[in-house]
Amino acid sequence: MTREPQGKQRRHSPKGTSRREEILVAAMRRFATDGYQNAAIGDVARDVGLSLPGLLHHYPTKVDLLLAVLEKRDHDGVLAVGHLPDDVGSFLSGLVQVCRTNVEIAEVVRAFAVLNGESLTKDHPATNWFIERSRQLQKEIGGIFEQAVLEGCIRADVNGPALATELIAVMDGLQTLWLRDPDRFDMVNALQLYVDRLARDIEVTSKKS
C-alpha cells in the first residue's frame, strides 16, 4: 500500500474521499469491460462527471488508478491478506462465505480476474502486485494449516504450503467457471462440497485407548 511521507500526509475532505470512491468504482467497471490495457482514463473521468485534469488531481497516472483499484478490492474483500482466521474450521467456513459474497459483486470479481490475467503479460504494471499478493496468501494460508498440525488439530502429515496452493488453485478455477457461465454453475455449492471433503480428509483420527 502506498503511504505518504511522515509529516506530509494530506488530509482528505469527506467530499474528496467520496469522489475518489466514485472514481475507483467507475475504473473497476471499465477494467472489467475493457481490461486495463484498453480502458481509457478519459472514459473513467466522463463516467463520474469529471474532466481529465479533474481525475488526474486524485490519481495522477493510470498506474496510480490501477493500484488504487487493486488495493480497494483487497481491502474490501473477505479474504484480505492479514485478516484470515487463525483456526482451520473458521478459515474453511470463511472460504465459502467469500464465494457467497462474490456472487453478489460479480462485476468487481470480474474486474479483478481480468486484471489478474492481464498481469501475466510482459511489463504489466500490476505484475508485481499480484505476485506479492499470491506469495503472501500462500504463506498466510499455509501457516494456518502448519499451526493446526502443531496443535494436533489436523493430521500430522498435512503439508501446509502444498494445501495452501491447492486451495488457491481450486478457488481461482471455480471462480473462472462461474464467471464464464454464472447462470448454470453454482460456485458456492461446488466449493462447499470441496471444503467438506477436505475437512474430512485432514481431520485428526480418533486416538485408540
Domain 15-70 CATH superfamily: Homeodomain-like (1.10.10.60)
Cα three-residue angle 25-31-33, rounded to 5 degrees: 105
What pLDDT score was predicted for residue 85? 64
Residues 6+ apart with CB under 8 A from 41: 52, 55, 56, 62, 65
Give me the DSSP letters along 55-98: HHHH-SSHHHHHHHHHHHHHHHSTT-TT---SSHHHHHHHHHHH
Q: Distance (Å, rounded) from C-alpha 6 to C-alpha 102?
A: 36
**CA-CA distances (angstroms) from residue 209 to 77, 121, 156, 157, 206?**
45, 58, 19, 21, 9
Kindly report the pTM of this predicted structure.
Answer: 0.80
Provide Rg for the chain, Cα atoms: 20
What pLDDT score was predicted for residue 152? 93
What pLDDT score was predicted for residue 12? 56
Cα three-residue angle 81-32-3, rounded to 5 degrees: 40
Position 98 confidence tier, pLDDT thresholds 50, 70, 90: confident
Which set of grid coordinates corresponds to residue 30?
471499465
Kindly list the domain boundaries of the chain, sorted by start residue: 15-70, 77-202
Position 80 confidence tier, pLDDT thresholds 50, 70, 90: very low
Given a cut of 90, whether residue 131 has pLDDT beyond it is yes
